[in-house]
Amino acid sequence: MRRSARDTEYSARRISRRTMIVAGAQAGVLGVLALRMRQMQVEEADRFRLLAEENRIAIRLLPPARGMIYDRHGTILAANEQNYRVVVVREDAGDVAAVLARLKELIGLSDDDVERALREVGRRSPFVPIAVAERLNWEDVAKVASNAPALPGVFPEVGLSRHYPLGPDFAHVVGYVGPVSEADLARLEDPDPLLQIPRFQIGKVGVEARMEDVLRGSAGSRRIEVNAVGRVIRELDRQEGQPGADVQLTIDARLQNYVQVRLGEESAAAVVMDVTSGDLLAIASSPGFDPNLFVRGISVADYRALTENDHRPLATKTVQGAYPPGSTFKMVTALAALEAGLVTPDETVRCPGHLDVSGNRFHCWRGGGHGSVNLARSLVESCDVYYYEIAQRAGIDRIHAMAGLLGLGQRYDMPLSAISEGLNPSREWKRARRGQEWRIGDTINAAIGQGYVLSTPLQLAVMTARLATGRAVEPRIVRAVNGIERTPPVVPSLGLDERFLREIRRAMYSVCQTERGTAWSSRIDAAEVRMAGKTGTSQVRNITAAERARGVVSNDQLPWNRRDHALFVAFAPHDAPRIAVSLVVEHGGGGSTAAAPIARDIVLQALFEGTPPVSAYPSSQRRRIESQQRDLAPRLLPPPGPGASRA
């Protein structure tokens, strides 16, 4: 049926309207798209350019060079060495286990290396590089680089690792670094981003740990271009970090080395201190250990050998070990009584070999007694009964105060680990810690450095330096940071009567230089460097009345760990003191036989700044000393060459 002209015209008008609507909508959409394209390409071009750059440019942190550690003369104690390593980035690697399996075949990784890397990958963010192997040789690095297409997410790097050239000599002082652990991160409220760098090393003990903020430095960064699969194309730019500050210690490396060698395998500790400045010239604990083992990752077998050794090589005995000071404490008791006017230097006390107090018998080390003794003889022959008597007059309050004045019972603020404050007991301490009142027997035991009294070798060196100078000398171990020297503080007077100090010094000189002195066999013949000292022996076991009745068992008949500790303190030269020395030999037996000979050798080595002439020793001992020096020589550091720094 044919449509009318009217219907045809109506249909045409309807189609035209629809066409215009559709065309208008299309035009509107195109207009919106055009405006959006203009906005993106012109107005927001910078933002999208940045987004595009971030997709192909990665920014990685660069660890700074750790500050070096030197001795007082510029000898390197802690250095940095190049370390070739391989890292893996999880988000770039994909199947990490498969990639590590291929890498294992290429450079010979151990199963432990692979397992450790997989554990670390699981703990870290996917973009954080994880160290798989370190200290690789150049051939292994070249293999990794040439096989890059088969090892996605694996990158060879060159970093720095810590090295301790003098090994055990400074293990207890400088300490060591190790990789950041989860425990390290947990201790920090706002950890430095540097600590996320794979195998980043921080100080664990000693100066390395206590001066971490100074030694670490600040991170740098580098911008690298990567392709679609994360492979590094090129480095765009690099901004180096700020290296850590160098630290110079007061320690003399050659003297420290000698002390360690001279102590040998004894379980012992020695401190050498400059009495004028407080500088620690040597502070050695024996036996030592190689700190480089911890930097590289110590094996289970090596670590077990250290922890199961009954001589405790990991302990810093100089500041951590607290020992009964024995007779080296007698100068404290004497000064307490002298300053209070309760005894005079010439007053005598009769020693029958014991003293009965409140129904208890306190014995002198010499069973038959010393007869009538005054201050000088009591120190020279180390009579115990003399100090039992004057301690009752002085009382624990005065003894406690004098011990504190001479530096005992104090925790010195130095960058060393686990510094002990020892124990300078008082009435208040016993009441608070033991819930008991102080008794007269406690005072008598304290008078000879037994009972509750505990001191570290460092504290004994401070005490000796203060006796030698009459001044409040404080120990210090950091000499300079970044070349800026730290000036020793002005040392005030102790306020003690110089007459009494002279009496103490004169008696300590006689301990070493008179035949009745307990250190006579360790005397020095060279008049210009003679020392003044005091021996000490501290019990580590109780001697029963039954044992005394049948005869006290000698130290050499006892198991090692039940023998007495041997101690010796000294300053030298006696008439113009320059150094103070303290020495503790754990379970060494007697101070006169085990500690004094070693201390005498250390004193001479320090004063002569090297091997002393045998003429400094008594003539009867010179052949033995020559043999000893020959035996020690191969293990000693050589003297500085021409032009070497001797600051």
Q: What is the DSSP string of 436-492?
A: ----HHHHHHHHTT-TT-BB-HHHHHHHHHHHHHSB----B-EEEETTEEPPPPPPP
- Residue in 494, 500, 447 with CA at minimum distance from that of residue 338: 500
- Residue in 414, 76, 79, 80 with CA at minimum distance from that of residue 253: 76
**Which segments within 19-65 are labelled E, that is strand?**
57-62
Pairing, β 76-88 against β 130-133? antiparallel
Residues annotated as catalytic are 327
Label residue 361 exposed, middle or buried (CB < 10 Å: 0-12, 13-18, 19+): exposed
Q: How many residues does the chain have?
A: 647
Q: Which two tokens stand for residue 157?
A: 């790097």
CB neighbours of residue 191 within 10 Å? 13
Q: What is the DSSP string of 61-105?
A: EEPPPPPPEE-TTS-EEEEEEEEEEEEE-HHHHSSHHHHHHHHHH
Q: Which two tokens stand for residue 214?
A: 């100074």
**645 CB-near residues (< 8 Å, 6+ apart):** 73, 74
Cα 418–424–430 angle (5° rounding)? Answer: 110
Q: Is the dihedral of CA 118, 124, 126, 131 positive or negative?
A: negative
Give the chain's count of helices (H) and strands (E): 23, 21
